[in-house]
Amino acid sequence: MTDEISGRILRIAKGSIHDGDGLRTVVFLKGCPLRCAWCASPESQDAGYSHGYGQNMTAAEVFREIAKEEIFYFHSGGGLTISGGEPLMQADFSLALIRQCKKVGINTAIETSAYGDYSAIEKLLPYLDVIYADLKLMDEQQHIEQTGVSNKTILANIRRLAGEFRGKLRVRIPLVPSINMEDEQVMAAAEFCQSLERPGFSRLDFVEFLPYHKLGVDTYRKLGREFLLGGIMPPGKEAVEKAKRAFKETAPGIKLIH
C-alpha cells in the first residue's frame, strides 16, 4: 500500500514563502547525486543517516503533517513542495505524497536538479502543478567540475519536460560568482531557455535567478567537511543586474524574476 511506503526525510518546514506559490509545507528529502560546490544544504546530500540528520517516515505520516496546514493553503494558494536533496532519488515516495495531496486538492510542486531517469520524473507529472528545475552550467566540463556530474541528462530532461509537462515549468539558475556569472555563461543559459519556447506559446512559466548565499557554511563545519567556496562572496546588486541584462538581451521573451 503506497501510504506505507517509507521515505528518508531531512526535515519538514511549514509556512515557507520561498518554495512556490502561497504558504507551503516543504518536505526536504535526503539524498542527492550531485555535489554542487555552492550547496547550501550539504546535510541533505548523503542518502543515509549522517551526523544526526535524517529520519524515516511513512508517506501517511508525512501526509498527516502536510494536511495540518490545509487551511493556510486554501487562503494563500499554497500547498506541498518536495525538495531535497533530490526528490527523484525517492521517486516512489514522492509519488505517494503528491498523489495523496492531489486527491484532496492540495497544490503540489517539486524542486529538482532534473538529474535522474526521465521515467522517474514522468510518473510524477500527472500529479504535479509546478516543477522547479535547476540549470546550473551549460558547459558540460564546467558542470562536471562544479557539481560532480554531466549536464547532458539534465538538459535532455528539461527539454522533454518543456514539451510534455502540462503544469508550470520554472527554471532556476543559481548565480555563483566566478562559477557561472560570466556574460557568456548567462547568455548560454538564456539561449537554452529560449530554445524551449514555441511561437505563441510559452513553455516556461518563468526563469528565476537565485543569487548564491553563504547560509550553509556552518553546516559544512558540523559535518567536518571543507567548504570549497569559502573565499567567494555572494554577488552584489550590480553583478546580479549585469547577469539580468545579459539574460534579457539573449532571451527577451522569457519572464525573468529574482
Number of residues that bind ligand SF4 (CB under 6 A): 12
Residue 32 lies near ligand SF4 (rule: CB under 6 A) = yes
Per DSSP, the residues of 184-199 read HHHHHHHHHHHHH-BT
**Residue 41 interacts with ligand SF4 (CB under 6 A): yes or no:** yes
Determine if 157 is a binding residue for ligand SF4 (CB under 6 A). Answer: no
Return the number of the residue (69 or 134) whose C-beta is nearest ligand SF4: 134
State the pairing for strand pair 79-83/107-112: parallel
Asked if 250 touches ligand SF4 (CB under 6 A), the answer is no
Q: Which stretch binds ligand SF4 (CB under 6 A): 21-29, 33-41, 50-58, 64-72?
A: 33-41
Q: Give the separation between CA 3 and CA 59, rounded to whole angstroms.
A: 5
- For ligand SF4, the binding residue among 44, 81, 146, 157 (CB under 6 A) is 44
C-alpha–C-alpha distance, residues 227 and 216, integer Å: 9
Handedness of CA 167, 240, 136, 113 (dihedral sign): negative
Residue 131 contacts ligand SF4 per CB under 6 A: no
**Helix (H, G, I), strand (E, B), or coil: what is residue 157?**
helix
Which of 10, 23, 29, 39 lies at the binding interface for ligand SF4 (CB under 6 A)? Answer: 39
Question: Does residue number 35 form part of the binding site for ligand SF4 (CB under 6 A)?
Answer: yes
Asked if 51 is part of the footprint of ligand SF4 (rule: CB under 6 A), the reply reads: no
Which position among 85, 116, 177, 211 is part of the footprint of ligand SF4 (CB under 6 A)? 85
* Nearest-approach distance from CB 196 to ligand SF4, in angstroms: 20
CA distance 197 to 158: 12
Among 113, 151, 157, 180, binds ligand SF4 (CB under 6 A): 113
CA distances 51 to 9, 32, 59, 236, Å, are 14, 16, 24, 34
Identify each DSSP E strand in the chain by its residue range.
Answer: 6-16, 24-29, 55-58, 79-83, 107-112, 130-134, 168-175, 204-211, 256-257
Residues interacting with ligand SF4, by CB under 6 A? 32, 34-36, 39, 41, 44-45, 84-86, 113
